[in-house]
Every structure is written in C-alpha cells, then in structure tokens.
Structure 1
Amino acid sequence: MQPNPGKRISSIDFVRGIVMIIMALDHTRDFFHIDALTQDPLDPTTTHPWLYFTRWITHFCAPTFLLLSGVSAYLSSQKKSTTEASNFLIKRGLWLILMEITVITLALTFNPFFNFILLQVIWAIGASMVLLGIVTRFSKKAVLLIGIVLFFFHNITDLLNLPTTGPAGIAWQALLTARGTVVPLGATHFLGIFYTVLPWTGVMFTGYGLGQLYQGNFPAELRKKMLFYLGCALTALFVVLRFTKFYGDPTPFASSPNILTNIYNFFNTSKYPPSLQYCGMTLGPILILLSLTEQLKGQWIDRVSVYGKVPFFYYVLHFYVLHALTVVAFFACGYNMSQVSDNASIFLFRPASFGFSLVWVYVIWIAVVIGLYIPCKKFLRYKQTHQHPFLSYL
C-alpha cells in the first residue's frame, strides 16, 4: 500500500516522539541528579549500570533529530520551488540559531545577563539547515553526496594535525573536531560551542537524501525494506569498526578483563563530535525502528506522536519547566540566595552540591513528560487550525 501524496507518515512522528521523551530524561538528570556536575555517567571507573544506561540511551536523540530534520526538509521542499525552499531553510536555520543564543540559553542558565551562551543541538540543526538551504539552491543531488562524505569520512580528521589555537583553531573546532570549545567574549562573558557543525550536517544531509523514500509515490513495502537493511548495515558497520579499532572514533575500544567494563567501553563512542561509530550505533537501530513502526496504530502511538509533531515547542518548554522545578527544589532543600550562583555550574539555582538520587530523577522526568502532554496537544491543535506563516518556524 502506498501513502497518498502529502500524507504524513506516522512512523516519523512516533519515532521522533520517542526520542523527545528520552531526551527529557538526560536533561532531568542534568538538573536533578546529585552527581550530574561532578561525575561522568559513562566513566567505567565510577558509574553503575543504571546510571550508564540513563545517559547512554539518550545518545539516540540528537542524531535522530538531525536525520528526521533532513527528511522533513526534503518533504517540505516538494511543495515549494527550489528558491522558496532554499530561502525558507536558510531563514529557519538562522532563526533557530537565534533561539539557541537567546531563548534556550536563558532556559538553561536562568541568567538574564547571558554570561555564558551555549551552542548545542539547536545550533547544530540551525547551522546545518543554513548549509542545506545553500547547497539545495545549486544541486539537490550534491546534498546526498556531501552528506555521505561527511557522514563516513569526517573522522579522517582524527589522523590529522589540525590547528588548535588562534582563529584557525577555533574555526576547526567549531566546525569539525571539538569536544567542547569555550570562546571568551570578554572578561565575564563566554561562548560554549558544544556541538560541532559539519559532522551533524552530514547526518542532516543524509536524512534529506532519505526523504526521497517518503515521497507519496514511493512503494511503502520497498521503503520499509530499504530502511531495515540500511539500518542493519549501519549497525553492523558500527560493530565491525568497534571491534577492529581501525577507524571511526577518536577513542578506540579498549578491552578489559572485566565483562561489565568491556560493555561500558564498547558502547562509549564519541558524541562530541559525533563519530562514525556513534552514528552507526544510534542511527542503525533508528532506521530499523522506522521500518518496523510505519503501520503501527493505537492510542499510545498517537499520544507519543504528539510530542514528535511539535518538537521545538516541547524542547523549549521542557527546559523552562525543568529549571523552574529546580528553583523550587533549590529553596525547598534549604539553599538561599547567596548560593544561587556556583563557580562549578553555569546554571543558576543549580549548585554542584544540589541534587537527588537517580530514583527521583526518573520520578521527575515521568511527571514532566506527562505534564507537557496537554500543552503540546493544544499547541498541535492550534498549528493545525491556523495558517500563520510564523508557525512553520516552530
């Protein structure tokens, strides 16, 4: 059975909804877990299985956002001329970067003076969208080619001696290699670039190429088979590269006599920047999930899909809700105004000594996700019943 032209394929919204829900778990941990600012949850010497899984499962979120943003960009471009689609992508990308610098940074830090500006996943999506808009203006075929090159070969930079200081060093780190780059903007203001652009651009461009599978006249059964086999191949590539230690991650798999440590090390691939092994580990299963969920129906599928249909609205709102709850818990735990700021934390009202056990992190996470369902559903209904052009940016 083939979808009608223009029909929205539910698996995209459902899978995006799943990762939106999972994403909130990681951010809840950042705000509320007692060890979030002092311990790496993926460090095999200090972690435990539950904590490790809590952090690791959220690795699926960012690459899924970028991939499905590429798919959505392709589908929306089918209703516009090349110039119109290009202009929209560039404007929306710039708008997302502005939102990252202002609205989202404020949500994360609660610092009205913006002493620390964060560039994270929305920055990566926005910058990639601008590049996508530029490239599609000249050649849509080039998008997939560039995406494949960036996706599979950007880790060649692990073998090169690139500049690490000065303007050239900052440029290389911001675009391709940084685990995290902090750029001073003055004596009291800093810019934190935590998501490098081009590896994520490779994911979005590849998603744009995959968008062809979701055209209205593309056979559904063939699409599902192609997604499934592509997902299996990408997952297998991750396993092979991880075991051979040949290529695809700046930190090769280090085997250990301890079985649990071996598991930790095997799945601890680089997200900052996203390595080929990381993308294979995450996007392989996501492609398989997309292939298996296309025809699923039911009340829970519809409810999860609500989050996936309004991802930016949910993303911004969940940060403000989490940080507002942090302020409430901050004072409830006996902290006072003199402790609002902590040199060990860029988040106001979240000192390094603040926090709760992992059990409470899960309780708060579930409560926040459930609490955001009605606002997301109302906003979705508003988008569906109103035609204001600005809504296409949300």
Structure 2
Amino acid sequence: MKIDYSAFPDRSIACIDMMSFYASCMAVLHDLDLRTVPIAVVGNLEQKGSVVLAASPAMKKRFRVKTGTRLFEIPQHPEIRLFEPKMKYFLDMSMAVTNILSKYVPNEAVHVYSVDESFIDLTGTEKLWGPPEQTIKEIQKEILDTLQLHSTAGMGPNMLMSKLALDLEAKKTGFSKWTYEDVQTKLWPVSPLSEMWGIGSQNEKTLNDMGIFKVGDIANTPLELLEAKFGVMGNQLYHHAWGIDLSELGAPIISKQISYGKSQILMRDYNKVEEVKAVILEMCEDVAKRARDSFQAGRTISLGLGYSRNAFGGGFNRSRTIQEATNDTMKIYRVCLDLLKENYVERPVRQLSVAITKLENEHSMQLSLFEKQKWKKRQLATAMDNIRNRYGSAALLRAVSYTPAGTAVKRSKMVGGHKG
C-alpha cells in the first residue's frame, strides 16, 4: 500500500530544542564551558536521594551521570560542579528564546512545547529570510550568540515529522530535515517502538505481542486491526507510522487534553499509611481543581505508588472506572483510598501519582436524585478554586497540608516543583 501525500499538509515546520537546557543555563550563569565542564543540576543538594534534572555532555561522557541519576551516585571529583535548579531563571531564559523566534515569524507561528522545546512554522517566510533550512540555522546561531545556548533542530512538513527528525536524527547531528519521502527509509526501520514519539512501554508491549516490532510494521498493519485493538489511538498509530499529522500549531500532535494528573517524588520515605493518605488527598485536590477549571470530569481514576529504594523499590499503578464522571475532590480521593487499601503493602513510600482519564464535559453530568447537595458542593468548590486562582495555591488548604506529612505548603513556594 502507498499513501498519496499530495492530500496532506506540506509545510516548513521546525522543532527546536535547547541542548541540556538546565545545565546550559547554569553554565551561562556561572561563566562555565558547557562542552568541557562536568555540570549536574540536582533537585535538592541536601538530600542524597535527590535526582539529577540535567547533566552537561562532559558529565554524561566522563562520569556517566545523566538525568535520573541520584545525588549519592555522583562520584566525588574536584572538577564536578553541582547546582540546584533556579526555575525562575530557567523560565526567563526560555522566554528569551521565544522572543528570538518571534523576531522571524508572527507570535501565532510559534508554539512553546516545553520549557526547552518549541515549534516554529516558517512556511511563507522565504521572501523575507530565504530558505527555511537556512533560517533555522540563523536562528540557532542567534540563540548561541546572544544567550550562549546550544540547540538542535528538526524540520518537516508537519509537527510530527519535525519532532521525529529532531528526536531521531538532529540530536546527533545538530540539524535534520525530513520529508514524506524519508518516511520509509528513516522512520520505518525505527526499533524498539518506544523510540517512536507517542509510543509508551505498555503500547510497545501490546504491539510486540501482535508481532509488530518496527514502525514499518505498524504502517503495514491493516488499519481496521489497529483500531479494533487500540480504538482511536490505533488510527493515530497507523497514520503517524506513515508520517501523517493534521495537528494545528498550538495543539501539538495530540489535539486535546486526555487526562489530568499529578505525580511527585516525596522528600523522604513515608512509613505510615496515614501520611501517604494525606499526600494523596492533596494531590486529588490539585487534579480535581485543574479538571474543574476546564469544566471537565473523568470516569477513570488512577493511583500510582512507588516504594523506596531502601525497601527494594517496586510499586503499583492501578485504575478504577466509576459509573459517573466526576471532578469532586472527595469522590476521587475515596476511589484512591480503595485502590490503596487493595494494593498497598507496609513498606516505605517515596513516589505517588494520581490521575483522572476518560474525560467528558462536566455539563453532561447528570444530577443525581440521591445527591441533593451535589450542586452546592460544586459551587463551594468553584468558590475555593477562585480564591486559589487569585491569591495562590496556598491561600486555601486542607488541614492535612499543615501536618508533618503535607507537601502542599512547601510546593506552593516552588516553580515547576523546584526552587525558584
């Protein structure tokens, strides 16, 4: 089978990524050479179990320290430079990069995908700046000259292809342009499947069980079979394997929110189940608020728990689908408590996550005859959310947040979960 690509968009979209962004920013701040100095940005230098958030190329190559390495695993060496994150500074640098991109195209042609990665649509800029490939290289040069930040960039006819060109080739070469003609030679051989953007370990296992091990195998699997197995996601897998993506800039690759979730690595081992429950309640409050702010409700509630490495690690992630979608904090919490009771064993806990999926517009929720207070509870939650939105997340907190187990007070003073 062959796809007629003439029916699909063929634009000049680039995905540009700042190399080792956090480490690069710290190198600039302290006048260090990112290419030669071993640098690591660590979540908290006072906690030996804290993780590395970013590492410079020299740190990765010489000491094999990378993102996710624990502080106690970093060797003692006089040349190694360790820093805690400065999130406000990182965000300022990210905004400076965005300002540079906006000099070349209108604001609506730039989409900030993450703090260190952005998409830019250069379609139609040829008369202003010349060939888009050359324009991207000029942008990279300006970012390096003005901010001392090295970058890599992938270019393609749509957002997906530019992202694939970045992840699968440009991060090794600095720049790469993929066209539809490159799909079969560059994308199809990709294996394992988790190397492909959008395919996680669980989907990879399912695909492997179906005898699918390369991206080309997905492209040559009947669409009906993939849809029967994965639903709407099967349709996406099939078309992505052919390099097809109809996303508009500003809605990168996946067009709508499919879940609301929160996860955190705890600052210490939590040995008591009551302490664990306190943090879960805080997280349910946060997840429910985000859903309410978007007028969404979810039917599937998930709880993830990771045990401490001191207790040999491991953990679980379990979900439960309820009859009626909800964004009520306490309803979500009660389901999480059920999942905790069924799966928790008495071992120290170090990581927790809560999520709601199978979203629907909350206006579609029916008012139950047996819940006379339901509307009043929603109004109360809205009032509380409005206060938090105006005065900050710590303006209204549950009592558990002020116990030794609570994390909300401390996290409210952070930016992106780290020190500002």
> Could you tell me the TM-score, scaled by structure 1's length?
0.28
Which of 1 and 2 has higher RCO (CA within 8 Å, sep 6+)?
1
Which structure's residues are more often strand, by fraction? 2
The structure with the largest helix share of the pair is 1
Larger Rg: 2
TM-score for both structures, normalised by structure 2: 0.27
